[in-house]
Amino acid sequence: MFTAGACPLDEDGATVAVGDVAGQAEQVMANLRTALAAAGADLTDVVKTTVYVASNRRDDLVTAWDVVSRHFGPHDVPSTLLGVAVLGYRNQLVEVEAVAALC
């Protein structure tokens, strides 16, 4: 299963935690879990992620990564972490794509 990038949007489509990398990463991970669950999967089924952070500050990348890796816990999934210039939604700082293997 390939997911589109999970974004930091609430149920009304508004970007949450504007200016807060950690807060947006938390919402992204909640949204990713929701998308995976809709297909009968969970984070333990994920085999690869790509984490995008709209920042050129290494500290922001580390902040986002800390949240993402905490959600995965001992399931140490191979990942790519990238700093990018801009993401698709206004005030968006974090996005996570995932690939999950379902049997």
The reply to whether 68 falls in a domain is yes
CA–CA separation, 76 and 36 (whole Å): 17
The reply to whether 70 falls in a domain is yes
The reply to whether 29 falls in a domain is yes
CATH number at residue 65: 3.30.1330.40
Buried b (16+ CB within 10 A) or exposed e, 47-59: eebebbbbbeeee
Domain of residue 34 covers 21-100
The reply to whether 73 falls in a domain is yes
Write down the pTM of the prediction. Answer: 0.96
The reply to whether 2 falls in a domain is no
The reply to whether 14 falls in a domain is no
Q: What is the number of domains present in the chain?
A: 1
pLDDT in tens, 33-89: 999 999 999 999 999 999 999 999 999 999 999 999 999 999 999 999 999 999 999
